[in-house]
């Protein structure tokens, strides 16, 4: 192999040498060689051209080769915030770390455009991307400031700034400036002047987390660009030079001087008159205080759960995909009902404060290090806020005896009064104004959760996961696992109804013990009130009065395996078949419990609970929806004469509809005469069940109407006793009542409609037996009520004549028994055999 390789190398040398010889022999080659040897000037020109070629190659390798394509701007999509809409279509929140609003060129007012051109690039309409006069000035400024640490003036045109802001970044170097120039020339060949200016005015960073003039206009003046006055437009035009400086109060005079300079430039360019500029100069800056976007704070827990769901679907940052939550510009339609959300927040807060009232200070919200120079930054970093009444979150800066000072996130300080004994410097607390000072407020240590849901669709209408979302994002309505207590009992009773029992079936309310093995021994259940009289009562009475002993008997008779399967089917949780779980010993969330009760209200049909209805991308295309059913032929241009198209049912039948209705009917009794009578005076068709867990550590209420179902609980995050008096009927049910009262226009007194194969029978409320005389009344304690029976479980009706015949037959039978007894006694007297007498006596009994 070595000989052929050597032959090839020799041939290449020979041919190359021949080519060089031919070039030297060519007249042009001879001319070049002659001039190179005889002319110094020729050699200098040659060296110069070679240097330029080498320089170009160096620039191409180090700069030009890596430059992005200007064509990217044709399809450029800036990072945009995700906007969240409520059930009525109104914007309720946005997920944004930057303020951005995109406008078209025609939407920018002409005075604003002229102000920016006067401040940044007055030759914009005529240059080809680079203003060489301004560039020379920038180079001279750079040379004079070299080594001083000062940053030279930019000298960049608007086109160059577009290249910097969008394509290459803000690195301070000569290399970046060269890249700007090259890209600016390319951009001018790709985009029109209007397109370039539109990109610039939408993307320029202007301070206060604002990108673009529309976002800045709202941030500094609280208005849209179309409403800006001349002096305000001139102020926005000075911001690209130093946005974080000119927007601060201590640099107000510098901002005014720079603004007036821009106004003078507008006069020189002929874009405003001297009189207009003079009037604008007389105006103050008129900046509003720096503030966050103003959204109803009651939506905090709801939109945080939506945010988690969107991040799981699409990612968080722009690099995660085109539909990321903080860059994709999504439009999200949710099921959030603002009225119900506000009512849920108020109801839960009132309940928490009512319970907390009279108790000592629960301690600080958080603790931070108090540094005289850095406490404000530390407080901001703590990320705590509260939106209740006029409360504010601050940090105790110092305390000496009965005197203390509080500091707030805006840097202000104030005296602090009403000091708890354990209050210390560094405590982050809530406080409210009190005269010239601020008073310490007690944020409830006890917490809770509230959910409202539409039982006909599974759409979640309201979510409140604690006292205030600004104090922490943990959502106790959807994330906290709590024992449901007696709120689980309706599903135990439903299992009994599915296994041959009726609401009128009698169950013993007496001691019930179970042997649990050699290690655990015997377990004896008890009622909440520690009583069990040993009497029998109807199932209805047992559910209305929340009797534990009756519940475990029903679970035992129906089969705890069946009970556990029923609880699982409605989505409460997967529990082992132990009787204690029939009394709510397992764990679940408020959302799951609310959705289980929604299945009861909807005749056993249950939907997957959803917070998001659908998601659109920045262009309006729907990219996800919760209801993904297809409607075939719904968009036909003309009717084909066939039956109208119908959507398939979406819900899942998790209970026998008759059983669900029977349970609902019994739960209405809980409201009218049971443990939730606090709701009775609302005069609505309501159902519900209270719950109180062992301790008691949790108090619950779950229920509602045909249209709105909810669940609420109250308890400590680290479960501990709420006090022996705490019960669901006295603490949780009143919260649900307030929720209804604050949204009363959304509740309608419509009776629940029975499904097919339900028969109504008049019964005695206490004994459960049928009655024929009298009628039910509106009195909650009426002795006669209408009860719902499944058609196959109802005892056949009888007439008055049938009853008289039964009474006659019973009387005749009694007479016959009496006659037989007399005959037997006579026979016993006549016989001497004692065995015959004994047999006769047994027969008579």
Active site residues: 120, 486
> What are φ and ψ of residue 473, in 5° steps?
-90, -5
**How far is residue 801's CA from residue 807's CA, in Å, rounded to a whole number?**
10
Contact partners, residue 77, CB within 8 Å, separation at least 6: 322, 329, 618
Query: Tokens 């009578």 belong to which residue?
Result: 677
Strands (E), 608-682: 612-616, 622-625, 652-653
Half-sphere exposure for 822 (CA within 13 Å, toward CB): 5
Half-sphere exposure for 789 (CA within 13 Å, toward CB): 23
Query: Tokens 């899942």 belong to which residue?
Result: 652
Q: For residues 593 and 484, is the Cβ–Cβ distance under 8 A?
A: yes
Q: CB count, 10 Å around CB of 494? A: 27
List the one residue out of 468, 476, 484, 272 whose CA is nearest residue 385: 468
What does the angle CA 667 – CA 673 – CA 678 come to, to the nearest 5 degrees? 90
Distance of CA 595 to the CA centre of its chain: 17
Strands (E), 745-783: 758-764
> Is-cis flag, bond preceding 696, omega within 30?
yes
**How far is residue 126's CA from residue 193's CA, in Å, rounded to a whole number?**
10
Helix H or strand E segment including 541: helix 539-544
**How far is residue 437's CA from residue 433's CA, in Å, rounded to a whole number?**
6
**How far is residue 585's CA from residue 581's CA, in Å, rounded to a whole number?**
5
Contact partners, residue 126, CB within 8 Å, separation at least 6: none
Q: For residues 494 and 660, is the Cβ–Cβ distance under 8 A?
A: yes
Query: Tokens 């979150």 belong to which residue?
Result: 393
Burial 357-368 (b: 16+ CB within 10 A, else e): eeeebeebbbeb
Burial 644-682 (b: 16+ CB within 10 A, else e): eeeeeeebeebbbbbbbbbbbbbbbbbbbbbbbebbeee
User: Would strands 622-625 and 612-616 be described as parallel, antiparallel, or unpaired?
Assistant: antiparallel
What does the angle CA 237 – CA 240 – CA 243 come to, to the nearest 5 degrees? 105
Q: For residues 325 and 314, is the Cβ–Cβ distance under 8 A?
A: yes
């Amino acid at each position: 192999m070595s000989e052929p390789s050597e032959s090839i190398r020799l041939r290449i040398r020979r041919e190359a040498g021949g080519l060089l010889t031919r070039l030297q022999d060519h007249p042009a080659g001879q001319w070049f060689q002659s001039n190179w040897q005889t002319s110094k000037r020729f050699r200098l020109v040659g060296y110069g051209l070679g240097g330029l070629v080498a320089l170009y190659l160096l620039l191409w390798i180090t700069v030009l080769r890596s430059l992005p394509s200007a064509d990217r701007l044709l399809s450029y999509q800036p990072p945009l915030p995700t906007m969240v809409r409520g059930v009525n279509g109104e914007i309720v929140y946005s997920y944004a770390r930057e303020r951005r609003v995109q406008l078209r060129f025609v939407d920018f007012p002409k005075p604003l455009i002229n102000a920016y051109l006067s401040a940044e690039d007055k030759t914009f309409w005529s240059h080809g991307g680079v203003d060489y006069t301004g560039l020379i000035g920038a180079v001279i400024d750079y040379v004079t400031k070299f080594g001083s640490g000062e940053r030279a003036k930019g000298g960049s045109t608007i086109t160059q700034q577009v290249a910097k802001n969008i394509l290459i970044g803000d690195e301070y170097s000569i290399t970046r400036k060269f890249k700007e120039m090259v890209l600016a020339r390319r951009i001018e060949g790709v985009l029109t002047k209007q397109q370039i200016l539109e990109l610039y005015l939408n993307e320029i960073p202007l301070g206060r987390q604002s990108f673009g003039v529309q976002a800045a206009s709202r941030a500094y003046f609280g208005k849209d660009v179309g409403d800006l006055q001349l002096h305000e437009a001139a102020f926005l035009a000075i911001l690209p030079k130093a946005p974080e400086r000119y927007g601060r109060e201590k640099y107000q005079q510098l901002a005014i001087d720079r603004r007036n300079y821009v106004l003078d430039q507008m006069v020189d360019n002929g874009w405003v008159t001297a009189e207009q500029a003079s009037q604008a100069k007389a105006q103050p800056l008129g900046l509003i205080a720096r503030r966050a976007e103003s959204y109803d704070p009651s939506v905090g827990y709801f939109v945080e759960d939506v945010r988690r769901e969107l991040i799981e679907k699409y990612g968080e940052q722009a690099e995660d995909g085109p539909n990321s939550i903080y860059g994709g510009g999504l439009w999200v339609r949710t099921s959030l009902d603002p009225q119900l959300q506000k009512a849920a927040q108020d109801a839960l807060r009132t309940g928490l404060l009512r319970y907390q009232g009279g108790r000592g200070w629960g301690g600080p919200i958080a603790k931070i290090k108090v540094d005289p120079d850095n406490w404000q930054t530390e407080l901001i970093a703590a990320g705590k806020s509260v939106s209740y009444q006029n409360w504010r979150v601050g940090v105790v800066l110092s305390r000496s005896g009965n005197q203390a000072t509080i500091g707030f996130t805006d840097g202000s300080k104030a005296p602090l009064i009403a000091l708890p004994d354990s209050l210390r410097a560094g405590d982050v607390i809530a406080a409210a104004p009190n005269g010239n000072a601020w008073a310490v407020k007690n944020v409830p240590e006890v917490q809770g959760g509230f959910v409202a849901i539409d039982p006909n669709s599974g759409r979640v209408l309201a979510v409140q996961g604690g006292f205030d979302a600004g104090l922490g994002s943990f959502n106790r309505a959807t994330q906290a696992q709590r024992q449901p207590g007696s709120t689980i009992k309706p599903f135990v009773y439903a299992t009994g109804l599915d296994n041959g029992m009726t609401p009128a079936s009698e169950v013993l309310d007496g001691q019930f013990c179970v042997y649990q093995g050699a290690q655990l021994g015997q377990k004896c259940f008890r009622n909440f009130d520690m009583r069990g009289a040993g009497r029998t009562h109807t199932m209805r009475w047992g559910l209305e009065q929340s009797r534990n002993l009756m519940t475990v008997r029903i679970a035992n008779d129906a089969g705890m395996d069946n009970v556990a399967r029923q609880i699982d089917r409605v989505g409460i949780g997967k529990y082992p078949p132990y009787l204690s779980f029939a009394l709510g010993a397992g764990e679940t969330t408020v959302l799951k419990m609310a959705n289980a009760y929604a299945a009861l209200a909807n005749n056993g049909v249950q939907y997957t609970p959803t917070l998001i209805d659908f998601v659109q991308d920045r262009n309006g295309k729907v990219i996800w929806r919760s209801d993904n059913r297809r409607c075939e032929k719904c968009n036909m241009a003309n009717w084909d004469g066939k039956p109208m198209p119908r959507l398939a049912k979406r819900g899942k039948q998790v209970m026998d509809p008759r059983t669900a209705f029977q349970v609902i009917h019994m739960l209405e009794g809980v409201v009218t005469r049971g443990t939730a009578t606090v709701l009775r005076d609302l005069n609505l068709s309501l159902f519900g069940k209270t719950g109180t867990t062992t301790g008691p550590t949790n108090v619950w209420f779950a229920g509602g109407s045909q249209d709105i179902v909810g669940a609420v609980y109250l308890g400590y995050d680290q479960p501990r006793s709420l006090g022996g008096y705490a019960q669901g009927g006295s603490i949780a049910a009143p919260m649900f009542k307030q929720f209804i009262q604050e949204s009363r226009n959304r509740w309608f007194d419509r009776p629940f409609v029975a499904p097919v194969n339900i028969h109504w029978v008049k019964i005695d409320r206490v004994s459960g037996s049928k009655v024929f005389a009298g009628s039910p009344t509106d009195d909650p304690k009426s002795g006669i009520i209408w009860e719902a029976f499944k058609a196959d479980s109802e005892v056949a009706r009888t007439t008055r004549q049938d009853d008289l015949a039964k009474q006659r037959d019973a009387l005749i039978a009694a007479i016959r028994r009496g006659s037989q007894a007399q005959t037997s006694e006579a026979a016993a007297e006549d016989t001497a055999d004692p065995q015959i007498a004994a047999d006769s006596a047994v027969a008579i009994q």
